[in-house]
């Protein structure tokens, strides 16, 4: 049984978004890098666009295969690498590493990739801390 109110959960999510946004703003200001728009692709060039869409299609295929596999089988016997959370985490990391590489290789401002890597490390750290601490004690299971 989860011992948490919906309002507390929403407040927690808002806090996480604020922390990530403030960090992103600060690191980009410190490095003199242009701010990226949220929920946009921000492709560096046409090659980046093609590679990014290839990664997206591959992971969408993996996600669909995993979903089919999970529906047809007992969820307790599913390998960890077929689980949705693992596929999404690997997709996020792969996508951000691709973006950082393309920024390092082709961007006008070579410090773009440092900001991308710093933001990725922060989000992975927050995700890891959130999961290992049961949402910082908000979930008392």
For residue range 2-15, list pLDDT tens digits in order.
556 777 888 888 99
Query: Residue 108 carries which DSSP code?
Result: S
Residue 61 has pLDDT above 70, yes or no: yes
Structure tokens at 109: 């401002």
Q: Is the pTM of this model over 0.85?
A: no
Extract the runs of DSSP E, i.e. beta strands, from the chain. none
Quickly count: other Cβ atoms within 10 Å of residue 53's Cβ.
Answer: 12
Q: Which residue has the tokens 């692709």?
A: 41
């Amino acid at each position: 049984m989860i011992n948490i109110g919906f309002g507390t959960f929403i407040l927690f999510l808002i806090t996480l978004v604020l922390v990530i946004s403030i960090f992103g703003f600060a690191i980009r200001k410190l490095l003199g890098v242009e701010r990226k728009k949220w929920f946009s692709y921000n492709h560096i060039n046409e090659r980046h666009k093609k590679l990014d869409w290839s990664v997206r299609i591959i992971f969408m295929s993996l996600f669909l295969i995993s979903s089919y596999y999970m529906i047809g089988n007992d969820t307790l016997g599913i390998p960890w690498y077929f689980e949705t959370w693992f596929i999404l985490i690997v997709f996020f990391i792969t996508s951000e590493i691709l973006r950082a590489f393309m920024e390092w290789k082709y961007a006008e401002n070579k410090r773009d990739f440092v900001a991308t890597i710093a933001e990725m490390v922060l989000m992975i750290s927050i995700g890891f801390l959130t999961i290992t601490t049961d949402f910082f004690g908000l979930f008392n299971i």
